[in-house]
Chain A
Amino acid sequence: MENSTAVVKMRNITKRFGPVLANDRVWLDIYKGEILALLGENGSGKTTLMNMLSGIYFPDEGQIFINEEEAVIRSPKDAFRYGIGMIHQHFKLVDVLTAAENIVLGLKEPGRLDMDKVAEKVKRICDAYGFDVDPYQKIYNMSVSQKQTVEIVKVLYRGADILILDEPTAVLTPQETEKLFAVLRNMRDDGKAIVIITHKMHEVEELSDRVAILRHGQFVGDMLTKMTNAQEMTNMMVGRPVTLNIERPDPVNPKPRIEVEGLTVRDPEGTVKLDNVSFTACSGEILGIAGISGCGQKELLEAIAGLQPAEKGSIRYVTDDGVREELIGKDPLSIADMGVCLSFVPEDRLGMGLVGSMDLTDNMMLRSFRRGRSFFTDRKNPRVLAEKVVKDLEVNTPGVSTPVRRLSGGNVQKVLVGREISSAPSVLLTAYAVRGLDINSSYTIYDLINQQKKSGVAVIFVGEDLDVLLELCDRILVLCGGKVSGIVEGRGASKPEVGMMMTRLGGKTNG
């Protein structure tokens, strides 16, 4: 990159949120025609730093230079003027408007608002970079990846030269990710500067030209991607050497714990979400569930937890003495009492399982408040538990009495997963447990899951990262469009094989 010029120079940028120092004298250069990966643990201030470039926050101290000129970015409007466009992790789109309406939102073009003209220009941008967007489609009818495309077209429509993407692949399928990367490379070759925030190491290695690393709000260094490796980057992020191996102990004495037979589930609109699904989950084993998003993983877990009515089939819980109990028809509470625990991390994290305005202790109590005998609730044990979760999972919080909403996304998730695991279940259902978590916390979670497995819990693990599924799980159930595409052994399964099964029933090898 010796020949390129730094389009953005950030110097001594500091930002505080109350007592929390989010960015501490950060120096960062962004060059034309390169893809920069910004790395750091959860809460290390990556998003905050980029938000200051895009005008959402204003730095407390420091200077930003754009094309060698000092820039004052007080609002997103200023950012557009400097050609900076940011695609946020949570899409900034208005659901009830069409794609085209969202794209022109906030623009001051001369003349009347002519949607057809806008649509035409949108089409032109799409053709140039290979997007597929219907300008007249409403946002609420779109899939996540379509929404993301609209976001990208939106910043391009404004003529952005500097694109910032905050965890763009967190909600995409492998195929969609590939498509996105191709587009990003196109734009790089077009001379645009691209910053991408991500936690997935293989994406960093595959896509980026240079990496910059933040730790606890401070800039620790940058280097060319081809000169480094995942291990070194992770060590820099965490600040000490970490091992990057997921252990997979052999299951000890596996016995059937959950038997699912011919399960069929329809959603309220009448679409079949699960079609004749049968499998057995054993104690002391991790059963992975793979599939592209929306092909029935959520419904499967919810059906087992009693949150989703089943149309046909049976779900039997097998106790240690071999007694079988039917779970269908039981209410979620009594299923949970039998030790079946569901930790589902939805796309918006706070949507299910935690109450944003309540503090850590109160959120722990959501699981236990029914258990007390006296009229008053027991706050002591939940506080102890909250403190334990904070310590074990290294949750970055001022204290256990902080409202969950104030924590950064990854930390919120640690609280949720930590609580579910701590309730000592006999069956642990977990979906997207590491969604949006940095690599170090992810490995902490994998360790926790492995501990549960060793203590004889049947774990059902829904994941989106195939590499992890292949490394962590003993067996992998592949779903495709609500049907079981096959069950493969985790040891020895190959990524292409499972990938094929995800998209086509039975895959190529019919495994």
Chain B
Amino acid sequence: MFDFVSFFPRAVMQGIPLLLGATGETLTEKSGNLNLGIPGIMYVGGICGVIGAFFYEQSGNVNGILAVLIPLLCCMLGSLLMGLLYCFLTVTLRANQNVTGLAMATFGVGFGNFFGGSLIKLTGSDVPSIALSATSSYFRQSLPFAEKLGAFGKMFLSYGFLAYLAIVIALVSSYVLKRTRVGLQLRAVGESPATADAAGINITRYKFVATCVGSMIAGLGGLYYVMDYACGVWSNDAFGDRGWLAIALVIFTIWRPNVGILSSILFGGLYILYLFIPTGTNLAVKELYKMLPYLVTIVVLIVSSMRNKRENQPPESLGVPYFREER
């Protein structure tokens, strides 16, 4: 029998890293930067948080607030640096965005595995992973009365604070994009930088800020994965292809962070559906189920390009560097 009450929270927990990654990437893409480095940035965000938490735990007495704040700040600093690097290369030096992004994706994964491996060496443990259970327990802290509320509590109140933060970030991003002056100008920068420039908008600043903020949000996705979803256990390559799925989710949500909230849960659900559908011992069928999120993305791409509504298209100058005096 399909157990929805236990399926749903797991889908949400799968979905939150995707939601953070997608929200970050949406903000970035709205500024006209196609940051394919998101998978790498989420990796860096995760490992930086782990490094911070590791040394704080090593230092002895663990204070709840600091145990959350230190990994959080480390994670955001790490992903901010990645965002700055991307901006410096693509905006200041006008390097090709695809190449830069792919290079950073590779670099980020390598960076994570390198420092992850080093930390594992430091702990000298037998298993190839680091467990930060003390820090994780603070990240996973849910409301005390959640357990008493039965199915409702389990489905909606059982998550750590980062999950709710992710939803708030998505809602705020949507509001900013749609309703505020800053959002309007950001959209204009991504659609037609020449127009925005002629209207007196500082293109470079908007691209830098949007990309860096986007990177930091995406980095949180990596942190959530390690600290909450994986219970504070870092092992190399465990994050997998979630970063790429986050980029697919941006297309799936047609560049709308608020749509991303439900879509990420859907994607998360599709991602783990194979665990909940009895397939017996036939492993091949399981592998087929794992394809679902990608199949759905392809279908959505086909449908959205068939409907061909202008509002649903990617920002027009996505991936194109801007230089004012170009003829």
Contact = CB atoms under 8 A, between A and B. Distances in A.
Interface of A: 17, 54-57, 75-77, 79-80, 86, 88, 92-97, 101-102, 104-109, 112-113, 138, 140, 405-406, 408
A77 B185 CA distance: 14
B185 A105 contact: yes
B195 A92 contact: yes
A405 B310 CA distance: 27
B195 A104 contact: no
Contacts of A112: 180
B109 to A, nearest CB: 34
Contacts of A102: 195
Interface in B161-185: 179-181, 184-185
Interface of B: 179-181, 184-185, 187-188, 191-192, 194-202, 310-311, 313, 316, 324-325, 327
Contact of A106 (B179, B200, B311, B324): B200
A97 B200 CA distance: 17
B196 A95 contact: no
B181 A113 contact: yes
B174 to A, nearest CB: 15
Contacts of A101: 184
A94 B195 contact: yes
A56 B327 contact: no
A138 B191 contact: no
B196 A106 contact: yes
A54 B180 contact: no
Contact of A113 (B180, B188, B199, B324): B180
Contacts of A75: 197, 200, 202
A96 B198 CA distance: 17
Given A56-B198, A94-B187, A94-B191, 18 more contacts: A55-B200, A56-B325, A57-B325, A75-B200, A76-B198, A76-B200, A86-B198, A92-B192, A92-B195, A95-B191, A95-B316, A96-B310, A96-B313, A96-B316, A102-B195, A106-B196, A106-B200, A140-B310
Contacts of A107: 181, 199-200
A129 to B, nearest CB: 21
Contacts of B198: 54, 56, 76, 86, 88, 92
Of A80, A106, A108, A138, which is in contact with the most chain B CB atoms at under 10 Å from its CB? A106
Contacts of B311: 96
A94 B30 CA distance: 13
9 closest cross-chain pairs (CB), A and B: A106-B199, A77-B200, A92-B195, A106-B200, A105-B199, A92-B198, A94-B191, A76-B200, A113-B181
A112 B182 CA distance: 10
A106 B311 CA distance: 21
A406 B326 CA distance: 9
A154 to B, nearest CB: 8
Looking at chain A's contact residues, the main secondary structure is loop
26 contacts: A17-B327, A54-B198, A55-B200, A76-B197, A76-B198, A76-B200, A92-B194, A92-B198, A94-B187, A94-B188, A94-B191, A94-B192, A95-B192, A96-B313, A105-B184, A105-B185, A105-B195, A106-B188, A106-B199, A106-B200, A107-B181, A108-B181, A113-B179, A113-B180, A113-B181, A406-B327
Given A92-B194, A106-B196, A138-B310, A97 B327 contact: no
A138 B309 CA distance: 12
A104 B184 contact: yes
Nearest to A57: B325
A108 B180 CA distance: 12
A384 to B, nearest CB: 27
A101 B188 CA distance: 10
Contacts of B202: 75
Contacts of A54: 198
A213 to B, nearest CB: 23
A106 B327 contact: no
A93 B191 CA distance: 10
A96 B196 CA distance: 13
Contacts of A56: 197-198, 324-325
A405 B188 contact: no
Contacts of B195: 92-94, 102, 105
Of A55, A97, A104, which is in contact with the most chain B CB atoms at under 10 Å from its CB? A97
B106 to A, nearest CB: 28
Nearest to A356: B327
Nearest to A105: B199
Contacts of B199: 76, 92, 105-107
A102 B188 CA distance: 9
Of A93, A105, A112, which is in contact with the most chain B CB atoms at under 10 Å from its CB? A105
A56 to B, nearest CB: 7
A258 B194 CA distance: 44
Contacts of B327: 17, 405-406, 408
Contact of B187 (A17, A76, A93, A97): A97
A140 B191 CA distance: 13
Of B202, B311, B316, B327, which is in contact with the most chain A CB atoms at under 10 Å from its CB? B327
Nearest to B309: A96
Nearest to B312: A96
A83 B300 CA distance: 47
A167 B192 CA distance: 21
A406 to B, nearest CB: 6
A505 B5 CA distance: 70
A61 B111 CA distance: 49
Contacts of A97: 184, 187-188, 191
Nearest to B180: A113
Nearest to B194: A92
Contacts of B200: 55, 75-77, 79-80, 106-107
B86 to A, nearest CB: 24
Nearest to B179: A113
Contacts of A405: 327
A80 B200 CA distance: 8
Contacts of B325: 17, 56-57
A80 B324 CA distance: 17
Contacts of A96: 187, 191, 310-311, 313, 316
Nearest to A80: B200
